[in-house]
Amino acid sequence: MTDATKQIKDTVTSNDVVLFMKGTKSMPQCGFSSRVAGVLNYMGVEFTDVNVLADDGIRQGIKDYSDWPTIPQLYVKGEFVGGCDIITEMTLSGELDTLFEQNGVTYDKDAAEKIREANG
Q: How many helices (H) and strands (E) does the chain have?
A: 6, 4
What is the amino acid identity at position 22?
Answer: K
**Cα separation, 38 vs 11, whole angstroms:** 21
Whether 80 contacts 69, CB under 8 Å: no
Does 84 carry a binding-site annotation? Answer: no
Annotated binding site for [2Fe-2S] cluster: 30
Binding site, residues? Answer: 30
